[in-house]
Amino acid sequence: MSGAESHARPTNDVPDGSSAASDGFLSSWVLRATTGSFVLAAILAVFVVVVNGVGSAVTQPVLIIFLVNLPVVVGLQTFSGNSGVISFGHVAFMAIGAYTAALMSTPVLVKQTELANAPAFIRNAHFGFVGSALIAVAVTACVAFPLGFVFARLAHPAAASIASLGWLVIAQTIIANWYSVTHGTATFYGIPSYTTVWNALLCGVIVIVAAMTFRRSPIGYGLRATKSNPLVARAIGVNMVRARVAAWVLSAALAAVGGVLYSGYLVSLAPSNFFFSLTVTIVVMAIIGGPTVSGAVVGAIVISVLNEVLRRVETATSRPGLSTVVVAAIFTALMMTRPEGLLGRWELDEIALRGLRRLILSRTVRLAPRSREEVDAP
């Protein structure tokens, strides 16, 4: 081999600069996603274990409802927190997940009586908790995928938000009138009870890992860039449509997890369960914490605790509606004083790291040797 050929041919031992930078970025965001997921999942686990251990029999249903709502709130944050588009339609994906899981897990004999006109594959299907959950998530993602292109191409965030509200109305109307499959406006009963604190906690951890991984992935960074300046983001190569569709489908799948837990906890479903009241609760939880995964978890905790405390005050004082008024007033005051939410744009692991850096810096400055002028000064 000639000297010129040996110089022209790159060696495999030394990677080129672009490859090294790409590998460094890959390892960096994977590490940050892992760290953020671990910190947030650990905090959630400690909170659930403590509340479940010290709480009473009245507290446990509240804890389970919080864990049921958590995947929907985190799912909403996955789309809205990264894209800047508020969605009012994610409760519809929760409903699809709930009804699909119910249809797949309800005993065959019950469905043959309750849903005699349903397709045969629905009447004869019977899966356990895991199988029903996987099917429900897959069906919801398939429904969300074509819708994602519609919402992704709406340039103005307000237009997309209004369109998502239209999607909620459409989904609720279909569920309420599809008598052969959903039992229509009547209650769909006979669903096996499989939601517990511990499998709901496990689902919450999985949802947190998925949302944090997306947020800190390259496509998540690109989507947040479109939120601040879409033109600049496109100029540097961000595909806004692809990023929004990916976030939309993932967020719908996470919301479906909440629907699966919901059906296994209430063991009965009605279309009225998935409409404006639950939508407002989920949106307030997502906004009050901030546009991050940690903000979604903190917002869900704060609103769940606040609702339970105010419910007990209502019972003691015989003042119905007090909780709704107080939560609305607190939400309004918070949006006026801190519109970015309780945590702002930071994740909990980032807040902890910033605090640690400030502590180290303050100690370093305090222990640094003083100048000669300071030593000689009287």
* Reported confidence tier of residue 11, pLDDT bands at 50, 70, 90: very low
238-246 CB contacts, 8 Å cutoff, 24+ apart? 240/152, 241/149, 241/152, 241/153, 243/83, 243/219, 244/79, 244/83, 244/85, 244/148, 244/151, 244/152, 245/145, 245/148, 245/149, 245/152, 246/214, 246/219
Q: Provide the pLDDT for residue 373.
A: 52
117 contact partners, CB below 8 Å, separation of at least 6: 179, 180
pTM: 0.86
Q: Is the CB of residue 267 less than 8 Å from the CB of residue 168?
A: no
Span 54-68, pLDDT tens digits: 877 888 899 999 999
Span 125-141, pLDDT tens digits: 999 999 999 999 999 99
Span 87-145, pLDDT tens digits: 999 999 999 999 999 999 999 999 988 888 899 999 999 999 999 999 999 999 999 99
Integer Cα distance of 378 and 373 in angstroms: 10
Span 140-163, pLDDT tens digits: 999 999 999 988 888 688 888 899
CA separation, residue 131 to residues 101, 102, 135, 246, 375 (Å): 9, 11, 6, 24, 73
Q: Is the CB of residue 115 less than 8 Å from the CB of residue 107?
A: no
Assess whether pLDDT exceeds 60 at residue 22: no
Total Cβ atoms within 10 A of residue 55: 12
Total Cβ atoms within 10 A of residue 280: 16
Indicate the average pLDDT of the chain: 86
Give residue 262's Cα distance to chain centre: 15
Span 218-267, pLDDT tens digits: 999 889 888 877 777 788 788 888 999 999 999 999 999 999 999 999 99
Query: Which residue type, as a one-letter code, is found at position 248?
Result: W
Query: Which residue type, as a one-letter code, is found at position 189?
Result: Y
Residue-range domain boundaries for the chain: 27-273
Specify the DSSP element, H or E, that contains 57.
Answer: none
